[in-house]
Homo-oligomer: A and B are copies of this chain.
Amino acid sequence: MASIKPSVPKGTRDFSPSEMVKRNYIFDTIKSVFKKFGYQEIQTPTMENLDTLTGKYGDEGDKLIFKILNSGDYLSKVKPEKLAAPDSQSLLGDISEKALRYDLTVPFARYVVMHQHEISFPFKRFQIQPVWRADRPQKGRYREFYQCDADVVGSESLLNEAEFILIYNEALSKLGLKDFTIKLNNRKILSGIAEIIGKPDLIVDLTVAIDKLDKIGLEGVIKELLDRGFSQDDIDKLKPVILLEGNNDTKIASLKQVLLSSETGLKGIAEIESILSMVSSLSPDLTVVELDVTLARGLNYYTGAIFEVKTNEVAMGSIGGGGRYDDLTGMFGLKDLTGVGISFGADRIYDVLEELNLFPQNAAETTMVLITNFDTDAESYALPILTNLRNAGVAAELYPSSAKLKKQMAYADHKNIPFVLLVGTEEMQSGLLTLKNMKTGEQQKLTAEGLLDVLTS
């Protein structure tokens, strides 16, 4: 067999041991917070039936779903006419029945409907699994990447929204981030604004335009609004809303004036007030929430609160987002189930922690101590020491052959092992072992007990 130059499919990645340690650190931190707030983990299969996924992500999304070829003689049931006039789209249903998970939301909806009689609502679940999209790969965008979602379905209480703000705050703080903003908006406020200017039908155009304020500035937004059918008069009414400044209380007071005649808009403001009030009861010192009426995200999806999280320490897109939705499970026949959820952008958080050097030093360590191996006598001498270390819970290795010391030290160095225990003739005679600290270079002579004390302290 000719040897193949090995590669991975474009847009996919291997994760090395040091990357895995850092990724697990992020996921474990987020998981521990989810659990503290009563969220429970589920997993769904990598493959879903194609008809479970099709039509849920728009035409563009459908194209980006990875389809799995039917097993065996996949052409056997295809009518010859179909092959005579080849058409990828129409042949698809004949040769593929399954596809790779595209996000965690649709599989979650499918899960809730399938298992509705085993579930006790409100159902608080988190899920951390990879998803696949046939996007054009580019810097920071992959075809396989992890999503990290928490959702609660079956509860309309705004306590859930308030707790998601606390979850973001606690998880990101635990990860060492010091300056971040949790932006909060409400779909009903956006609807109210569209109502006020008398153009409720243009709500999508309105929000798509003002959502770009960060990127294209006020002039850009105004130009886009004019292009999308708003008049100069509308823009004059919108400007103070878009440019709303001050703290949350000031913004809320202004919005109440603007939205005075919109019942929906006032409802949105009342929801924001309730959420902020609960956040303040739960966590009086939390100051990172910022009301931002230009925040829209996946507007057609959200019906109430909308969240987005940004770090202010590094230039980076949002590192999290979410909101409340109604009728997520309607597509699978279970109506009127409301829910709210958030997502963490794990790949971006990884890049942020890397850039700010926030990964714990010991996050790169696995083995605590490497015992050198000079010859078979030393190896035999070392075996019970190795066992003692492991019995004390210390991750320990004996170099498996009597290689040159330089090679063994290089192994420890490459693997970021912080201590090397030297076992040579002198050590075997005296019973005193030499422990070398690989960071400081310092060496100390220790008894077997002394060694355990140092490594377990």
Contacts and interface: CB of A to CB of B under 8 A. Distances in A.
A51 interface: yes
A293 to B, nearest CB: 26
Copies held by the complex:
2
Interface in A387-417: 387, 390, 393-398, 400-401, 410-411, 414-415
Contacts of A113: 6
A6 B88 contact: no
A38 B84 contact: no
A46 B46 contact: yes
A40 B114 contact: no
Interface in A57-112: 63-64, 66-69, 71-76, 78, 80, 83-84, 86-88, 91-92, 95-98, 100, 110-111
A204 interface: no
Nearest to A17: B40
Contacts of A47: 9, 12, 66, 132, 143-144
Interface in A5-50: 5-9, 12-17, 20-21, 24, 35-49
A240 B392 CA distance: 44
Contacts of A21: 40-41
Contact of A380 (B39, B281, B370): B281
A345 to B, nearest CB: 19
Nearest to A133: B71
A360 interface: no
A281 B383 contact: yes
A155 B14 contact: no
A342 B99 CA distance: 31
A447 interface: no
B69 A43 contact: no
A86 B88 contact: no
Interface string A351-371: 000000000000000110010
Interface stretch (A230-238, A244-252, A264-272, A330-338): A330-338
A157 interface: yes
Considering residues A43, A387, A400, which has the most beta carbons from chain B within 10 angstroms of its beta carbon? A400
A44 to B, nearest CB: 5
A130 interface: yes
A124 B366 CA distance: 11
Q: Give the dominant DSSP class at A's interface.
A: mixed
Contacts of A73: 88
A303 interface: no
Contacts of A64: 71
Sorting the interface of chain A by its residue count into under 10, 10 to 19, 20 to 34 or 35 or more gives: 35 or more
Interface stretch (A115-123, A187-195, A255-263, A314-322): A115-123
B4 A51 contact: yes
A411 B154 CA distance: 12
Contacts of A40: 17, 20-21, 366, 415
Contacts of A80: 86
A3 B68 CA distance: 23
A1 interface: yes
A446 interface: no
A202 interface: no
Given A86-B78, A396-B38, A401-B157, A8 B48 contact: yes
Given A86-B80, A395-B35, A115 B14 contact: yes
Contacts of A134: 71-72
A387 B163 CA distance: 10
19 contacts: A1-B331, A5-B333, A6-B114, A9-B48, A14-B111, A14-B114, A17-B125, A21-B41, A36-B394, A45-B144, A46-B144, A63-B72, A71-B134, A75-B88, A120-B415, A152-B400, A155-B401, A159-B400, A281-B384
In order of increasing CB-CB distance, the 5 nearest A-B pairs are A17-B40, A157-B400, A3-B333, A12-B45, A120-B414
